[in-house]
Structure 1
Amino acid sequence: MDNNTDNMIGRRLDGRYELLELIGTGGMADIYKAKDITEDRIVAVKILKNEFAGSEDFLRRFRNESKAIALLSHPNIVKIYDVGFNEQIQYIVMEYIDGISLAEYIKLQGVLKWKDAVYFTIQILRALQHAHDRGIVHRDIKSQNVMMLPDGTIKVMDFGIARFNRETDKTLSEKAIGSVHYISPEQARGEMTDEKSDIYSVGVMLYEMLTGQKPFDGETPVAIALQHMQTPPKPLREINSSIPEGLEEITLKAMQKEPSMRYQTAGEMINDIEEFKKDPSIVFEYKYFSTDGSTKYFDKVSDPNAPDQNANGDELPESEGEEDNDLYDEDEDDEDEVEERRSPLLPILFAVASVFVIMTAWLIFTIVSGNLGTESGGSDEMTMPNIVGMMLDDVKTKYPELNLDIDRQYSTEYKENEVMDQKTPAGRTIKKSTIVNIVISNGPQKVEIDDYSNLTVQDAQIKLEKKGLKPKIVYVNNDDVAKDIVIKTEPAAHSEVSQGTLVKVYVSNGKLVKAVNVPKFIGMTIEEAREEAEKKNLKLKEVAGSSNEYEKDQVIKQNIAENSVVNEETEIEVTVCDGKAVNIKAEVSLNLPTDATDTGTFKFEYFKDGVSFKEEERDMAVNSGKTLTFEVSGTEPATFTVKITNVNDTSLSGVLAEISVDFKNEDTEPEIVSYDEGLFKKLKYVAPDTSKDESSSNPEPTEVSGSVTVTLPTNAAQSGTFNFTYMDSDGNVIKTETKDMSLAAGKPVSFDVSGKDKRTYLIKITNVKDEALTGTLAEIEIDFSDGTVKQNIISYDQNLFNNLKFISNEASGEHSEETDE
């Protein structure tokens, strides 16, 4: 794999086809496995190599052919989904086949069972018949271009590409060795090829499947090509005697070196295979052997008493027919005879004697008939000649004694005034007065080409084929005519032409589209994005969205990533900020230190910008080394603080961590500003020495520390934000803090106290929006006298928050009016 193919992996073509891996490479193109983002499916993408991209003629032909091949739709042909052509890359998007090639399967199996070979061949022929019916010849049929699915389904690939290979490289070189084993003789000679070339190649593949070897091989492509043109293939049954004779005949007929002696259509070959499948013992009697050892092929003999005929339908001399049949029978004897055999000299002597007798009889007949003719003025009988293929004037000149009755028909195979058929068989003795019925060709029928402009390419193709014309689709770029609509024909509309004429149909490929790189719209104002899109000839689809990161009217998102290669006029969706804030959620994680297992139990308090929103207790004996996680949310940057307090001594308190979160977007990551992992050890509680002096009868009371805790009412969630003041009964303030009741309702509040005897403490609250809204929330008595902290709530006004809820003047006025009424 070169650097260029390395660079292609991960690239997205036209913002749609993401290249995943290189799965094949050939002389012309590289093939990638890809993901079709739009259809959510796996496809194969064939990309032309750079050395072909510089040829304008090649590109034009490739584009036109690709469009034509895309018209094929058959279960045994690999589907083509899309094509792409621009200044930077040319590619074809095809059906992805998860299987192996027929070549790989033959290599694994060696020799295929004849039932499997027939099953695969019929599928290949059906694919070719579908293509041939639409004027498309494959020209590169080989086992490497045939894919097989796990269920045995065949898929034929690479339609039409081979014709360009031939045009760009007309000499047989090492590059051609992949195909030269399957090439037809006429293709090897550089002559025009048609459907019968594909049939020859199918015959070669069938030969390979049945025998496990190719019919011809050599050290160079030229040597192999010469064998295709000159050397008869070794009979299949000599390699594998288990091959049925009828199947051998089918294979060798398909591989005839003269195209006219092969099957003329894929359908003909399918018919014979179907006959063979019904009766595998069938013998088609196609083969007769000539004296030079080569094989001649004729239609099967239906009447055993009928005279033998040559390829043109002429009767063979009896000796020639007998010679052929004797040789055929001798082959049959070769398979059955083991020990005793006839001397080969006897049938040869018999044949020579037969020829001598026949020639002597003919000579005597000629002399006698000549003498009789001289005496009587000539015979009134004659032997009917074979005049099919002769021109009418030549027939009249050469055979003036024929009493011709002429019928005329249109034909695309015979020239005007050429004899197409004779009702009296050649070789029959007739009276000269006998009327001889013959059919003369009028040549191809003349038809008028209609005006197909503004029709779809499919409609035009069907209409032309109905008229007996051969449409050739040529795609051209056109700014004025819609894609896949006919522009014109050549010959032009209303021209009169012969049936069978090739008609070029020029079809619009739409406006010439250039490829462009997608700019980065994110961060631009929508006006800037529109200007940039207009410069690149791209379309914008604008949708609204919210963001904390961007200002109003800035682009916050685009559906096709920057630097993607797309065609001009591609629509790109951009999300434009509407100026509204978005509540973004994030998760903060802190890894608690592993060495804090003996530090005790701590109360964890969580603050957002100084306002408490959560608290919990954690025993470090079980939480040490674990992850502390809590969720935060907001619409603008905020600072979060985690405070810890040793529950055994509330004076042992400190800030564990400080975290900053910007809440710009969903991908926002909390930033740990500070984290004091050693704080737990610093705040470790050490119990005081409680030993007492035994001699002391009146010990001095010890001051005890602890905390006062009150749970806030759950019904105060909608009451607003309050300042909390914690004080003793003497008015000494111990602690103040502010709490948003939407977050604090239902949660505990606490403050630290210490003493030696009973003391009273107060909790006062004030609404932050109106300091006149104030009152005492709770009164608590603490008894320190026995060395412990005993809490007794004297009073607790749980409705005080709602009583002190701030109401605006406007709302208050409305309330007053309702009260007066």
Structure 2
Amino acid sequence: MDATGTDPLVGQVLDGRYRIESRVARGGMATVYVARDIRLDRIIAIKVMHPGLATDDDFVARFIGEAKAAAALSHPNVVAVYDQRTDGEHVFLVMEYVAGHTLRDALTTLGRFGPRAALEIMQPVLAALGAAHRAGLVHRDVKPENVLITEDGQVKVADFGLARAETASKMTKTGMIIGTVGYLAPEQVTSGEADVRSDVYAAGVMLFELLTGHLPHRADTPLAVAFKHVNEKVPAPSELVPGIPLRVDELVTDATSHDPQRRPQDASQYLAEVADVFGGLPRDLDQRIEDGSRNATSVLETPATGGHTEVLDAGTLPADLRPERTRSDRAIGALTGRYVLVAIGVIAAVALGWAVWYQTSGQYEHVPSSIIGMKVTDARDRLESAGLTVRTGKPVYDDRVHKGGVARSDPAPGARVAKGEPVTLTPSRGITPTKVPDVTGKSLDEAKQTLKDKGFTVGRTSTTPSQTVAKDRVISTSPSAGERQSPDEPVDVVVSAGMSMPGLIGQNVDTAANQLRSMGLEVHIEKKKVDGKPANAVIEQNPPEGTGVSRGDEVTLVANKRDCVIDAGPIEIGCNDGETTENIPVPNVTGRTVNDAKSALEDSGFKVKVTGFGGDTVRIQSPNGGEAPRGSTVTIVRGP
């Protein structure tokens, strides 16, 4: 089965949206395809789980976990995951398509990297892992195959298929080792457990491999390799490649310590150490190591041999040019002459290499790939310290780089540029604008969560009175719901302080009560005698004027009452305290049950006093009809 058309999925449209165009790679867990999103008309990558695994709930859970883990990471050095879907028997992920090649391809082509080049590659790798570690995720399978290098030189970490929330690492099956054996930390071999320090170990092994071209532990079987991880230390890279500085050796040996406590405690800490060592390395270090490695096995070429390599010593000279020596002298002389000539050859080649370097590499610098996503000011400092001139272009929106970071550069990251020539940095205006969700009517906490789910943050929060929106509910946002804005820009929220309590002091209590009821408020009226105030006038109110209130809130009005006593024996009749008091009809409740009568009278706006002995039927009421002041008392007498 090839990648061009015999694969049965090629040509199919998954989920009615993703048309499979070609197969890219096949792994032990899934197959990766290039596809087109026909809805958005863009090229994407599709990772389809093998059908045999789709029936395994554990594998499906881990596969879907990849989507959730990677989709939660927003970092320019992480391959983006857009979606996770199921179409019949096909469980698949929709991912960013990265045109380029893997770090494994580059390592195979070059054999190995110099220290500066290796550390330059490791920095964006560790930046991506650091973002994952801050989110509580462990990659579990750090290796060159999972590091992609784009056509413009940007480095991206892929395949979080074995990533797992660190707090859920106990989900790993007992005895099951997840990862690639060449990069497994000792604790993964012995217990199957992995945390962020296991990723640091794998990164240290990968750095060793970049520097030497080989894995530190090699054997005939995977089990034997795993045994070496547990029982043998990773050697210093300089043991294989002389000339590698001690500080670079220590980056490898510290990260691959058998004791996790002695390693950098996460990828961000390891990144800081790598960046510090990288900044202190001579710019020509890689060329010097390469020249030294090449010349260590070289000898001087002479025109007399037609360009063929030949070692000259005194024994090859004509007899008349050779001085007489003893056998011992001749042996020593031949040996000494050979080493002298070899030494002269090495020196000449090194000098020639320096000259070539000065005319070529010494005049050039590479635009580092790690500047993408870096703050523009920091990227400017780094480039200028490398002898490059920096210009700033017009900001653009970018889906992967937050506002103020470097979205792209010209020349592109990884490109070779002559010293003194300009590099233009294009800042990000922020994430591409999207619609602001409608959060009106929600509580502030609910609104914040809704905005966060859409990638937005809340900016200023203010309050204002509202007659229509309940207290502590959102009235509006700026920008308004439905308008487009970059999620990097905050959304301001206006919250209702409720309706404003009017000032009612001095007004007739019944008029004031009717006004409050029209606002949907529950009104409680009390009476208090205050000399010098009009009868039935409001003398106190609670809450006070200007206080925010909402529909259903209870308010209290205190009205001034005048002396009024009407005593009708067992029947006490309510008193009208003012000429302007509103009179309302008194319902006739005679013959109804006491509870029904009380409900009817209270619903009509009266207070109720119950007297009598025994029985549950209203036999007498006072007043027994007509009209009475709102809020006055109706007495009912119960009987059998």
TM over 0.5: no
TM-score interval, normalised by the smaller of the two chains? 0.3 to 0.5
TM-score by length of 1: 0.33
Greater strand content:
1
Relative contact order higher in (CA < 8 Å, ≥ 6 apart): 2
After TM superposition, the score normalised by the length of structure 2 is 0.42
